[in-house]
Amino acid sequence: MTNEMSTGKDMGESRGFSEEQKRCLEETLGGLAQLLPFAGVSADGRITASPLLAPVNLAAPAEAMLHGTPVGDLTKQEKWKLDENPLDIWEKLVAHAEAGRRPDEPDTFRFKYHGLFYVAPAQDSFMVRLRVPAGILTAHQMHGLADLASDLGGGYAHVTTRANIQIRELKPRDIVRVLVRLQELGLTSRGSGADNIRNITASPTSGFDPGELIDVRPFAKGLHHYILNHRDLYGLPRKFNIAFDGGGAVCAAADTNDIGFVACRVTRESLARRGDQPPAEPGIYFRVQLGGITGHKDFARDTGLLARPSEIVAVAAAMVRVFSENGDRTDRKKARLKYLLEKWGAEKFIEETQRRLAFPLARLPVEACEPPRPFAKHGWIGPHRQAQAGLSYVGVGLSLGRMSARQMHQVADFAAEHGSGELRLTVWQNLLIPHVPDASVGTLVRILQKLGFSMDPAAAAGGFVACTGNAGCRYSSTDTKGHAAQLARHLDKRRPGIDVPINVHFTGCPHSCAQHYCGDMGFLGTRLGDGSEGYHVVLGGGMGDEQGIAREVFRGVRAGDVPGLVSRVLDTYGRDRRAGETFVAWSRRHTVGELQELLS
Ligand code: SF4
């Protein structure tokens, strides 16, 4: 062949093919057609699957794929992400703010990458959700958030079930000012919504819990900063939750997360109990639990993996990447880690994780670790001794996580005056003031009580959790916070004589942000036949050492009838329980039919 055949331009536009070249081409393509009967050439010179029908151009670029999924099969949210990377929309945010404009549907999704939730029609405004790793805030930051809430928002904030802060009723024109003010406080809201890893949670008493195995703050913060600085850890198939439990007294709900790292102690005795030679020296490790999603009635399960503390940020990042590259991007309902684990099995997931790590993952059966300590139920309310001699932490009960700006300033002042200037948010929608000298605890508790904060672990409000509800979330069927507050007031007034802490969870839709399947009592909002608000009622759920999915006992209870029903449940438990029997144990002792009969 001559040089003239080397470019299409020369071939097509100058002299065309010589007779010899044409014969050579025909022979070659003819031979190809015989060898590969699906290959042919169409009249216009394209190489096709069939020279007659010419339906596919084999020379055309293959359809674009995202992690092995054809773009055409992706959900609309995935296409929005491809059309415009939500991390790169700063100019759009500024333009929207300048015009006071509401975002359209794709941009409503993209804005959530920046923690900005346009929550119409529930409220014609934005909510901002922060990232507060391990739930740790300084008094200075709390003051700043209080100012932000009163200057630009509705004058209040909520502590969420991810030990995080949300501020609502922000006007469209203020969204950029909100982001700038958060950054000036040393805070961020980046990646707190949409298909991203949510706030990294941790045992709220980390670093001062007398019984903890390890202080997990460095891991929660380390992973938080790793995520913020790696773009490939944004834009997952769906949201993703990670928690660290250091073995302290207050439950971090790790088993409700996609990945739960739970500290454990391995001793010579615990190894000996196993009777073999597992690859572990005595020490403190983390067990790795995977696939929790309680709204889909599943807890994270132990994988048999044992991670050294120095390894867990790398293990977490590798697991997130395996999920990102292999999770389902064609169906939002199946786009959580649980479903990849069901499709693959945990072993394949671990193998894929191992391929991304430079060190071998260790395995150890759970029985070869010391059993975990039981949690102190409602240990997040009232005063408790710290590991440091002479210091205590004081758990402050908030009403369903809500704090007015004034209350935010107050708790910040108390943390600075009586503690070290630090505050800890909990996944129970409350907060702790740590490092209070024992001599000041009594004074602080009296002041907090006088101001209306709950200090009593037996008070109903301490164990109540409620999602946003229809006052601020368009998915909600009911006013969860309003109904939960009514019930808490009813119980505190009525004092049914229950001397054990009870957790009550109200959630407005099956997304289950308040984890209704994990409370002693859970309420799932629904609309009744006549359009009024009601609840399906589940009993006997729990997390950690009480782990179990609550069972549905009643359907479609009118919201106004809930306080009466709960009184009946508690009275019946009080009469029927055995000595020392917890509410969970009592309710699980009975079948659903027996409970219905007892309570009817
Ligand atoms: Fe909204 Fe449903 Fe979450 Fe409640 S559970 S905040 S209604 S999405």
Question: pTM for this one?
Answer: 0.88
Please report the pLDDT score of residue 36 as a whole number: 44
Name the residue type at position 248.
G
Q: How many angstroms does the Cα of residue 470 sit away from the middle of ligand 1?
A: 8
CA–CA–CA angle 581, 582, 588 (5° rounding): 95
Cα 85 from Cα 272, distance rounded (Å): 53
Please report the pLDDT score of residue 62 as a whole number: 65
Q: Which two tokens stand for residue 534?
A: 């009601």
Q: How many angstroms does the Cα of residue 164 sit away from the middle of ligand 1?
A: 15
pLDDT digits (tens, 9 = 90+) for 168-212: 999 999 999 999 999 999 999 999 999 999 999 999 999 999 999
Share of the chain above pLDDT 90, in %: 76
Test site for ligand 1: of 112, 127, 467, most ligand atoms within 8 A of the Cβ: 467
CA within 13 Å, CB half, 447: 14
Shortest-distance atom of ligand 1 to CA 477: 7
Cα 591 from Cα 85, distance rounded (Å): 51
Q: Which residues line ligand 1 (CB under 6 A)?
A: 467-468, 473, 475-476, 507-509, 511-513
What is the distance of C-alpha 197 from the center of its chain? 7
CA–CA–CA angle 516, 319, 330 (5° rounding): 70
Helix ranges (DSSP H) in 424-479: 438-450
Q: Which two tokens stand for residue 580?
A: 């020392």
Q: How many angstroms does the Cα of residue 329 sit away from the middle of ligand 1?
A: 22
What are the residues facing 542 on neighbouring strands? 548
Backbone angles phi and psi of 537, in degrees to 5: -115, 125
Q: How many angstroms does the Cα of residue 507 sit away from the middle of ligand 1?
A: 6
Is residue 446 within 8 Å of 500, Cβ to Cβ?
no
Cα 477 from Cα 111, distance rounded (Å): 25
Stretch 512-529: mean pLDDT: 95
Cα 209 from Cα 205, distance rounded (Å): 5
Is residue 164 within 8 Å of 132, Cβ to Cβ?
yes
For residue 138, what are the CA distances in angstroms to 67, 106, 408? 41, 35, 12
Please report the pLDDT score of residue 380 as a whole number: 87
For residue 111, what are the CA distances in angstroms to 129, 191, 330, 574? 11, 10, 21, 49
Tell me which residue has its CA closest to atom 2 in ligand 1.
Answer: 509
Residue 286 class from Cβ within 10 Å (0-12 exposed, 13-18 middle, 19+ buried)? buried
pLDDT digits (tens, 9 = 90+) for 131-180: 999 999 999 999 999 999 999 999 999 999 999 999 999 999 999 999 99
